[in-house]
Amino acid sequence: MSAAQPPPRIHYLNVSYGIRSWLVTTDHKRIAWLYLLSITFFFVIGGLFAVFMRLELLTPEGDLVQADTYNKLFTLHGVTMVFFFLIPSIPAVLGNFLVPIMIGARDLAFPRLNLASWYIYTLGGAFTLAAAAAGGVDTGWTFYTPYSSIYSNTHVALTVVGIFITGFSSILTGLNFIVTIHKMRAPGMTWFRLPLFIWAHYATSIIFVLGTPVLAITLVLVALERLFHLGIFDPALGGDPILFQHLFWFYSHPAVYIMILPAMGVVSELIACFSRKRIFGYDFVAFASLAIAVIGFLVWGHHMFVSGQSVYASMVFSILSFLVAIPSAIKVFNWTATLYKGSVSYDAPMLYALGFIGLFTIGGLTGLFLATLGIDVHVHDTYFVIAHFHYIMVGGAVMGYLGGIHFWWPKMTGRTYPEGWARLAALIVFIGFNLTFFPQFLLGYLGMPRRYHAYPPEFQVLNVMSTAGASILGTGYVIPLIYLIWSLRYGAVAGANPWLAKGLEWQTSSPPPTDNFEITPLVTEEAYAYADAEGENDLPLRKPVDV
């Protein structure tokens, strides 16, 4: 009997075609793709700046580029990576895609605001690219005054205006997430049935909303000082450069938790799925996210221990900085304990998650050195700090991002990626990363300051190791770029739940329909309700037992 071809299933990707349908979309899933393209673009740009920096640092002399050029390279590397890649990355791509679906909603609370967020991000990015094209900026991404407000001859105002504009994208995204999570959960989705990914994004959104405005006003003041010669931070007028540092770090420290919390949320999802087990200590992990967000607002002065800040203030910031490490440690222990009596598989997302735990642990532990006042005096503003934050941001956040992209790729695209290549790339990234950044801890303790275009010859061996590692790391990033694009056309078609994972996103088709679900889900299970020892989860409302 001849079977008529069933009409192709309509989902969010094929419901309409044409670039216009993408540029005026209010579908959170399409907006996630817009962000994915933008942040990938900025990741490549920021990465290219890093390539030139590491090439220059192969030799002690400043012989590849001029000093001013090098200073612009490290500034633009920091600005693009922090503001235009890391801060949006997981929330704007994975968060936008998944937050509504994971809670059973049709979209975010404010879809048009969501689209506006992307346009604002893009506008800010355009300003900053214009500044780079016009000659760049050389103040460091930290814009310390009075160098940035008075002495620098580069495009400071243009750059800070770009970052200021992009900040609104963060604020509106955070606002959107908070309202969505509060008001739009599906029936039965109580707070403690939420996936930990949602808890992580909720905590992140609190920081987005409360921290970013302070950066905004700080950058406004710097821009006003440069454009209209208002002497707010000018020491010749009695202005206080330390005030700038307080205002700047009040945002920029919580910003680092913006960068890591979403990755921790991803890791919770991955560990649970690939151990086929509920995350150990769910409540503790959820509250740890909130604790990190709150305490994270109280530690900014640890960037200023040798800035002329009072000894007592430094002590307060030091002790709080140790406290903020505790909830992160709690998460690491809980993730590890989840593996116990689980059923662990080594799919690429899991490799990224396990890599995250290892590298984040090292990064976090090296933070203890920096929180320790007596040690920080020696290692502040050296490569030790650079190694520390790259372990967290690259070894942590970027690995979390890549793990999440791989895990939800089938959901987002309806295609699977080639698993062999993915595992290889994860391994290359892990090895390349360690080769690049571990030597920098040694360089830092030996005394090599950061932001140095040329350095004394005794530091060369470690610098060469680091550059060699960077070439491996770069390769590890290029490989997924290639096969993920390849998979869009040639990857195997994915079903609704290729990982057999728990979570509402896996209850709908891959890719999902525009409104995410055919009918609004009714939630009757706890989060991560994987099979129990009897082989089935036959009491769906029963809460798991404590050991």
Q: What is the number of alpha carbons within 13 Å of residue 385 lying toward its C-beta?
A: 18
Which residues is 382 bridged to in the sheet? 449
Touching other proteins, residues 209-238 (CB under 8 A) = 209-214, 216-218, 220-221, 224-225, 228-232, 235-238
Angstrom distance (rounded) from CA 197 to CA 210 = 20
**Number of other CB atoms surrounding residue 227 within 10 Å:** 12
d(CA 176, CA 179): 5
Please, are residues 283 and 196 in contact by the beta-carbon 8 Å criterion?
no
Residues numbered 279-338 forming contacts with other proteins, rule: CB under 8 A? 280-284, 305-308, 311, 314-315, 318-319, 322-323, 325-326, 329-330, 332-334, 336-337
Provide the phi-psi class of 539: left if phi over 0, else alpha when psi is between -120 and 50, else beta.
beta
Among 121, 455, 499, 517, binds other proteins (CB under 8 A): 455
Distance CA 275, CA 270 (A): 8
Q: Which of 374, 457, 489, 519 binds other proteins (CB under 8 A)?
A: 374
- Give the H or E element holding residue 385: helix 383-390
- 365 binds other proteins, rule: CB under 8 A: yes
Minimum Å gap between C-beta 331 and other proteins is 10
Of 33-62, which residues contact other proteins (CB under 8 A)?
62
Indicate the helix (H) or strand (E) that contains 12: none
Of residues 31, 132, 200, 247, which one binds other proteins by CB under 8 A?
247
Task: Say how far apart CA 318 and CA 74 lie, in whole Å.
Answer: 28
Nearer Cβ to other proteins (44/339): 339
Taking CB under 8 A as the binding criterion, the range among 35-43, 78-86, 276-284, 407-415 that sits at the site for other proteins is 276-284
Distance CA 148, CA 226 (A): 8
Count residues binding other proteins (CB under 8 A).
141
Tell me, residue by residue from 66 to 95, as one string, x for binding to other proteins by CB under 8 A and - for no binding.
-xx--x------------------------
For the chain, the first-to-last Cα distance in angstroms comes to 59
Site string for other proteins, 164-183 (x = CB under 8 A): -------x---xx-xxx-xx
Smallest separation (angstroms) from other proteins to the CB of 40: 27
Nearer to other proteins, 459 or 477 (CB): 459
Task: Return the residues of window 381-440 that contact other proteins according to CB under 8 A.
Answer: 381-382
Stretch that binds other proteins, among 3-11, 81-89, 350-358, 504-512 (CB under 8 A): 350-358
Please, are residues 271 and 180 in contact by the beta-carbon 8 Å criterion? no
Say how far apart CA 144 and CA 121 lie, in whole Å. Answer: 24
Shortest approach of other proteins to residue 53 CB, angstroms?
13
13, 65, 123, 146: which one contacts other proteins (CB under 8 A)? 146
DSSP 65: S
Quick one: which segment of 12-20, 84-92, 368-376, 490-498 binds other proteins (CB under 8 A)?
A: 368-376
**Residues of span 184-213 touching other proteins by CB under 8 A:** 184, 209-213
Distance CA 330, CA 91 (A): 23
| Residue closer to other proteins (CB basis): 9 or 543 | 543
Q: How far is the CB of 23 from other proteins (least distance, A)?
A: 20
Residues 491-510 close enough to bind other proteins by CB under 8 A: none
- Pick the stretch among 193-201, 278-286, 421-429, 472-480 that binds other proteins (CB under 8 A): 278-286
* Cβ within 8 Å of residue 394, ≥6 positions away: 433, 437
Out of 456, 475, 481, 518, the only residue in the binding site for other proteins (CB under 8 A) is: 456
Q: How far is the CB of 144 from other proteins (least distance, A)?
A: 6
If we measure between CA atoms, which residue out of 69, 257, 184, 224 comes closest to residue 523?
184
Of the two residues 493 and 543, which places its CB atom closer to other proteins in the complex? 543
By CB under 8 A, name the one of 123, 446, 468, 479 that touches other proteins. 446
For 185, half-sphere exposure in the C-beta direction (CA atoms, 13 angstrom radius) is 16
Stretch that binds other proteins, among 10-18, 136-144, 262-270, 411-419 (CB under 8 A): 136-144
Nearer to other proteins, 381 or 468 (CB): 381
**For other proteins, the closer CB: 15 or 478:** 15
Instruction: Please state the closest distance from residue 302 (CB atom) to other proteins, in A.
Output: 11
8 vs 513: CA distance, rounded Å: 12
| 111 belongs to the binding site for other proteins (CB under 8 A) | yes
Is 102 in contact with 197 (CB distance < 8 Å)? yes
- Return all residues near 397 (Cβ < 8 A) that are at least 6 apart: 86, 89, 90, 259, 260, 262, 263
Specify the stretch interacting with other proteins by CB under 8 A; choose among 46-54, 339-347, 406-414, 500-508: 339-347
Smaller CB separation from other proteins, 354 or 484: 354
User: Cβ 26 to other proteins, closest distance in Å?
Assistant: 9
- In degrees rounded to 5, what are phi and psi of residue 177? -65, -45
Q: Using CA atoms, how far apart are residues 528 and 14, in angstroms rounded to an integer?
A: 31
- Spatial separation of the C-alpha atoms in residues 510 and 420, rounded to whole Å: 22
Instruction: State which of residues 343, 481, 493, 495 lies at the interface with other proteins (CB under 8 A).
Output: 343
Query: Nearest to residue 141, comparing CAs of 77, 233, 219, 213?
Result: 77
Fill in the amino acid letter for 387. Answer: A
346 lies in the binding site for other proteins (CB under 8 A): yes
